[in-house]
């Protein structure tokens, strides 16, 4: 178990290096000089621009800039923002709670709706409940979450006035962002759990247990759900990273002061250290969550543990 975890961590290192290098190169290809953007409105002279470029280290070659950036990353230093001159890590830490709050709320929506509809559809395939769940899940997968967010704002905030559309504004302010982000994930859980339960219910040992008169609720909890949830847990872990990344986009629509707003403002001002820091931080979260899910899957499924020991 420990050896497998260590191997996964070692494999993740080249991936993080590749992400940092790709973001570094893309930002250098985007038109616009950060020094001129920062001095916009001050009627800067060429000497002023050159001096600021020197202070920011932009007058060095690209390999030299990346080498300095990589050295800071090894020390856990994401650099300093061009705009605020504050450590990027502290800027991320100040906004991270809002993004985590939204991601967890969306995850709660997805788990509740996904498990309820998936279990009902899997226990009674072909029923009216199953057909409704199938239609809803297909729509949830087909509709982009950013379009759904605007639709929910139009209905529940503009037309009905039940919920706020922007900012924080109390507990109700997170309802629309969480629904926008969580409904698509709930559709994935519904479809996967339904198909897994239908397959498990066809296993001989469950057919025998049902023939002996075991209560449906006991059959579901003690046997069917336990064997069907393994693949669902894996997908949940993979989607948690997507939820975290999607929260960044949803925050922009609903005006929440999280990593999304910080990333957009950094892109507009071409604050290179801030952009690199946010993207790399999200990548680390995504890879870390996937590692934890793999370990959890091994705990739930003995076949995976046997595979690790080979």
Condensed to tens digits (0 to 9), the pLDDT of residues 210-267 reads 776 776 666 676 667 777 776 777 777 777 777 877 887 788 888 888 888 888 888 8
Angle 296-110-165 (CA atoms, 0-180°, nearest 5)?
A: 135
Mean pLDDT of the region 299-303: 57
Q: How far is CA 20 from the centre of its chain?
A: 18
Decide if pLDDT at 310 tops 50: no
Question: Are 108 and 183 contacting, i.e. CB atoms less than 8 angstroms apart?
Answer: no
Decide if pLDDT at 104 tops 80: yes
pLDDT value, residue 69: 80
H/E/C letters for each residue in 86-104? CEHHHHHHHHHHHHHHHHH
Condensed to tens digits (0 to 9), the pLDDT of residues 53-73 reads 777 777 777 788 888 888 888
Mean pLDDT over all residues of the chain?
78
**Quick one: pLDDT band at residue 297, thresholds 50, 70, 90?**
low
Mean pLDDT of the region 176-205: 83
Decide if pLDDT at 6 tops 60: yes
**Quick one: pLDDT band at residue 309, thresholds 50, 70, 90?**
very low
Mean pLDDT of the region 118-141: 82
Condensed to tens digits (0 to 9), the pLDDT of residues 130-176 reads 888 888 888 877 888 778 888 888 888 888 888 887 767 677 888 88
pLDDT value, residue 308: 47
What are the φ and ψ backbone dihedral angles of 62, each rounded to 5 degrees? -60, -45
pLDDT value, residue 289: 76
Between 117 and 56, whose confidence is greater?
A: 117
Mean pLDDT of the region 286-304: 67
Residue 187 CA to residue 171 CA, distance in Å, equals: 25
Break the chain into its structural domains and give their ranges.
2-66, 96-228
């Amino acid at each position: 178990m420990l050896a497998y975890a260590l191997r996964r961590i070692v494999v993740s290192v080249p991936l993080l290096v590749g992400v940092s290098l790709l973001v570094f190169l893309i930002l250098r290809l985007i038109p616009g000089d950060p020094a001129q953007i920062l001095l916009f409105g001050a009627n800067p002279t060429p000497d002023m621009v050159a001096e600021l470029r020197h202070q920011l280290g932009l007058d060095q070659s690209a390999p030299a800039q990346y080498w300095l950036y990589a050295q800071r990353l090894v020390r856990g230093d994401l650099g300093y923002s061009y705009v605020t001159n504050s450590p990027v890590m502290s800027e991320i830490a100040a906004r991270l709670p809002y993004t985590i709050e939204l991601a967890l709320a969306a995850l709660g929506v997805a788990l509740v709706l996904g498990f309820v509809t998936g279990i009902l559809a899997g226990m009674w395939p072909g029923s009216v409940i199953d057909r409704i769940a199938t239609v809803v899940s297909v729509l949830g997968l087909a509709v982009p979450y950013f379009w759904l967010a605007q639709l929910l704002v139009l209905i529940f905030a503009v037309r009905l006035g039940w919920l706020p559309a922007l900012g924080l504004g109390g507990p109700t302010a997170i309802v629309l962002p969480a629904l926008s982000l969580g409904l698509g994930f709930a559709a994935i859980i519904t479809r996967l759990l339904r198909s897994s339960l239908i397959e498990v219910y066809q296993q001989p040992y469950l057919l025998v247990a049902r023939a002996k008169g075991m209560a449906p609720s006991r059959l579901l909890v003690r046997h069917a759900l336990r064997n069907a949830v393994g693949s669902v847990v894996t997908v949940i872990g993979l989607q948690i990273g997507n939820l975290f990344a999607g929260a960044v986009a949803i925050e922009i629509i609903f005006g929440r002061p999280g990593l999304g707003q910080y990333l957009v403002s950094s892109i507009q001002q071409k604050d290179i250290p801030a952009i690199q820091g946010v993207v790399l931080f999200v990548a680390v979260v995504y890879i870390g969550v996937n590692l934890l899910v793999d370990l959890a899957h091994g705990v739930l499924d003995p076949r995976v543990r046997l595979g690790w020991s080979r």
